[in-house]
Chain A
């Protein structure tokens, strides 16, 4: 069965550095998402992306964050000038059109640790 794949599985970065988290969505999906889960807390929506532009973003997704689909397969989340509180699991998801009967499929996540 097709899967969403995320790399790396674990990223350790010094505070203030930039990180790029990578995702390969399911090939016939056109809607892409990033979520994060701080340890012990709820999974939180960050951003959704369709047709090469952001379709919705949460209040968490400020100027520190950006997303990009640099080619036909990858979907990336860039975090600039990382802070300690950015430490979390970051999940990528993809789906067919939202509002239909198609679920969002999630990757295994990237654990980001900011030192």
Chain B
């Protein structure tokens, strides 16, 4: 059974700092990895999707990497801003349909 772990559970940083969120998984038979953002009481906003054949994806200040051999993905956020404060979730698509989610990292960027 696929297990997804995210570290740290919570992170508080000053504005402008670069930061890395970590996600690890137990089953290397994946199709895609998605990173999401969730604001309090809201739905999930897809940030980046990495296919299993890819190593990384970039969108603006966000960069996500994938290392299947070690069972890890990282989300790098450059020059963090208070508006980046949210919970960040990673999710693996393994069976070609379902997404298996981690518990998330709650990020607070302080002005």
Binding site for B on A (CB under 8 A): 4, 6, 31, 33, 35, 41-45, 48, 55-56, 58, 91, 93, 98-99, 101-109, 111
Contact = CB atoms under 8 A, between A and B. Distances in A.
B93 A98 contact: yes
Contact of A48 (B41, B89, B97, B102): B97
A96 to B, nearest CB: 12
Contacts of A58: 98
Contacts of B41: 111
A48 B49 contact: no
B97 A106 contact: no
A101 to B, nearest CB: 5
Contacts, number: 63
Given A43-B91, A99-B32, A104 B99 contact: yes
B97 A98 contact: yes
Contact of A42 (B34, B36, B49, B103): B103
Given A91-B44, A104-B46, 5 more contacts: A43-B101, A56-B95, A101-B51, A104-B34, A105-B46
Interface majority SS on B: helix, strand, loop or mixed?
strand
A42 B101 contact: yes
A104 to B, nearest CB: 6
30 contacts: A31-B97, A33-B97, A33-B99, A41-B103, A42-B101, A42-B104, A43-B89, A43-B99, A45-B100, A48-B98, A55-B97, A91-B43, A91-B44, A98-B31, A98-B96, A99-B96, A101-B49, A101-B51, A102-B49, A103-B32, A103-B34, A104-B34, A104-B99, A105-B46, A106-B36, A106-B44, A106-B46, A108-B43, A109-B42, A109-B43
